Amino acid sequence: MTYLVDVLTLTAILIVATHGYMIIKGLGGMLHLGHAVFYGLGAYGAAILSTRVLPTGLFPISLIGAAIVAAIGGLIVGWPALRNRGRYFMIVTFSIQLIFVTFVINLAVTGGPDGITSIPGLSLGPWQPTSRESLPLGFVTLTYSQLKLAVMIGFAVGSFFLCRYIIGSAYGRLVRAAREDEVVVEAHGRSAILVKLSAFVLGAAITGLAGGLFAHHFNYVGPTQFELDATMLFLVMLIVGGQYSLVGATLGPILVVLMLEALRYLLESILGVPAELTAHLRQLFFVLTLIAILSVRSNGLVPERRPRHDKQGTPVLEYGQGSPRMVDPTVDVASAKVIAGEFGTGKPAREEKLPAVLTCSGLQKRFDGVQAVADASLELVAGKIIVVIGPNGAGKTSLFNILSGITDCDAGSATLKGESIIGLSPERIARMGLARTFQEVRTWKGLTAIENILAARRDQPGANLVNLFTQPRLCRRAEAEGVERAYAVLERFGLQQFANMPSSDLSYAQRKMLSLARISAFEPDVMLLDEPTSGVDPRRLDIFLQHIRSFAKDDNKAICLIEHNMSVVKDLADWVVFMDEGRTLAAGAPDDIIGDRVLMRMYLGHRERKGA
C-alpha cells in the first residue's frame, strides 16, 4: 500500500511538470529537449532554500522560490535560443540538458555528486511531520504519506485549472497564433519572440514548481535524477496523452506510469532481468512508445481543445472537431455585406490634396548580388487606392517587405505619418498603423475563423499575461466585447457561419476573405494588400473589389495593392505605379499607364521571357 501511495504521489508531481511542458511544446510549439533542466532547477532551488536559507517550516515559500529559479533559467535559455526564430532552439535546449548534470556536479552549493539530503517534507511552522505520523481528520485518519498524496493531487488539480485559464484566454490565443505563424503575428503588432519567450518562462516556472514538490517528496535531490532520460520521460508523457491538449497532458503521465510499472513487473518479477539492464530497456521502451503513438495518432490520444465562441462572447470549450464539418461548396462568398466598418474612421475620401500617410523614396535592397529593389518610390494618401503593377520579379513584394519591416533596406527613406520606419521591427511598424496581407494565404491555420479576428485586434487586455492575473474582470469584459465585434467583422465579410471552424478547413476564397477581415479588424491606417484577388473565382471577384474599395472610401484607409489583373487595376486604382527590375519607372492614372504601349510591351515581354 505504501508503494502504491508513493507511485501515485510521484504521478501527481509528474502531471504538474507535464503541464509545464504542454505550455511550452503544445501551446507554444517549441520543441525543447531540456525539460528535466527546469525540473532540476526547481528541485535544487527548493532544496537549497529549505535547507540553507529559510527557517524550517516554510514549505510553500520554498516552492515559490523553486518556480522563480526555474523561470530565471527559462529566461536565460529562451532569450538567445528564440532570437533566431527558434532555428537552433532544439539544439540549444538539448545542449543545456547535456551540460546541466556536469554543472551541478561541480558546484558546492548543489552538494556536488552527492546531492542534497535531509530536505524537509510538508512542514508548516511548528508542524514537522515524520513518515510515521498520522493526522486525524474527523472520522478519517490519514498517514503522512496519504496526506502528502492529497497535497500533491491538490497541486496537480490547481495546475490544471491554472493552465486551463491561461490556454482559454486572449494570451493563450496569441501564443497559439505565434505557434502557427510568427511572421503574421508580428505583422499585427506583436513580438513573436516575446510571446513565445513568455510562454517558455511560464512553462519553466510550472515545471520548477513540480521540481520543488519532487524535492520535498523524496527529501533528496541528486544529479542523476535530471539526466536526459528524464526529459525523454516527459516527452513521451506529453506525446502519448496529446501534446496540444491539457487533458492529454494530464492523462499522459498516468498512462506512462502505469505502463512503466507493468514493464518493471514484467522485467523484474517474471523475466528476471538484472537491474542494471532495466534502465537501457526503459529507454528502448520510450523510443518504441513514441514511434507507435506518432504512427497511429500523431497528436496523441486527446486532440487539441479549441474554444468555441457564441455570439454573446462566452467561450465553450469542446474536444477536437467532433464529426467532420466540411465546408459547403455551395456557399458563395459573394453573400458578404459590404458596409462601412465600425472599426474605421468612417470618414469619406476627400477630393482636396491631402498629406501623404506613407512615403518612401530611393529604396534599395540587394540579396547576394541580386538587386531586388533598385530605386523604388511610393506615396500613399488616406482614402485612395494605389495599385503597383509590373512583371514578376519586378520587386513589388520586396518593396512591401521593406515597408512592413520584414526586410531591411540597404538605402533609401520611408516615413509613416511623418516618422521614419527604416530599421524598425515589423511589430513596431504595425503598431504605428501599417498592416499587410501576404501573397500566399497566411491565416493562423490552427485557430478558428473568429479566433483569427480576435487575435488580430489591438485592444486585448487579456493578451498581456500580467493583466490576466491582476485584472481578470477587465479581461473577461474585454473578451466578451471583442467576440461581439469579431462577429460583426465576420458578418461584414460573409464568414459568420464559419466562425468556429478552423481556418485550415475553409476554402481558398474564404481564407482570402478571412485575410481581408483580419486586416480590417486590426484597424490600420495603411493597408498593403499583396495580390488579394489572385486565384479567386472570377464569379466572386466583384465582392473582393467592393471590400477593397470600401476600405478606402468608407473607412478612409490608405490602400496599396499589388495586382496582375488589368481589369481589377482599372476598376480599383486611383493611381497606378509601374515597377520593373526594382525601379519605379512610371506613375499615373490607370488609363495612362495601362494604355502606354511601351510599358505594356515591357510588362508582357517579361511574361513571355519568363514563360519561354
CA distance 59 to 216: 8
Domains of the chain: 2-227 (no CATH), 333-611 (3.40.50.300)
CA distance 513 to 314: 25
CA distance 94 to 73: 14
Find residue 575's DSSP bridge partners. Answer: 386
CB-CB contact of 143 with 134 (8 Å): yes
Determine which helix (DSSP H) or strand (DSSP E) holds 141, and give its type and residue range: strand 140-143
CA distance 515 to 46: 48
Burial class (CB in 10 A: 0-12, 13-18, 19+), 71: buried
From 66, 14, 59, select the one nearest 38 (Cα to Cα). 66
Coil, helix or strand at residue 557: coil
Asked whether the CA dihedral 499, 502, 505, 507 is positive or negative, the reply is: positive
Non-local CB neighbours of 153 within 8 Å, separated by 6+ positions: 12
Q: What is the pLDDT of residue 345?
A: 30
Model confidence over 544-555: pLDDT tens digits?
999 999 999 999
CA distance 424 to 186: 12
CA distance 342 to 335: 19
Coil, helix or strand at residue 375: strand
CA distance 321 to 165: 21
Instruction: For residue 443, give Cα distances in angstroms to 75, 190, 256, 397, 541.
Output: 29, 16, 36, 18, 20
| 47 C-beta neighbours (distance < 10 Å), count | 30
Instruction: For residue 193, give Cα distances in angstroms to 4, 204, 271, 403.
Output: 43, 16, 50, 20
**pLDDT < 70: residue spans in the chain:** 1, 85-87, 125-135, 137-138, 312-353, 605-612
DSSP string across 235-272: HHHHHHH-TT-HHHHHHHHHHHHHHHHHHHIIIIIIS-
CB-CB contact of 514 with 455 (8 Å): no
Q: What is the pLDDT of residue 126?
A: 62
E strand intervals along 275-410: 305-309, 315-319, 358-367, 370-380, 385-389
Q: What is the pLDDT of residue 194?
A: 95
Q: What is the pLDDT of residue 293?
A: 81
Non-local CB neighbours of 287 within 8 Å, separated by 6+ positions: none
| 90 C-beta neighbours (distance < 10 Å), count | 15
Q: What is the pLDDT of residue 337?
A: 47
Q: What is the pLDDT of residue 579?
A: 92
Instruction: For residue 113, give Cα distances in angstroms to 106, 110, 142.
Output: 8, 8, 36
CA distance 225 to 210: 14
DSSP string across 381-436: -TT-EEEEE--TTSSHHHHHHHHTTSS--SEEEEEETTEE-TT--HHHHHHHTEEE
DSSP string across 461-513: GGGSHHHHHH-HHHHHHHHHHHHHHHHHHHHHTT-GGGTTSBGGGS-HHHHHH
Model confidence over 384-428: pLDDT tens digits?
999 999 988 889 999 999 999 999 999 999 999 999 999 999 999
| 80 C-beta neighbours (distance < 10 Å), count | 11
CA distance 225 to 58: 24
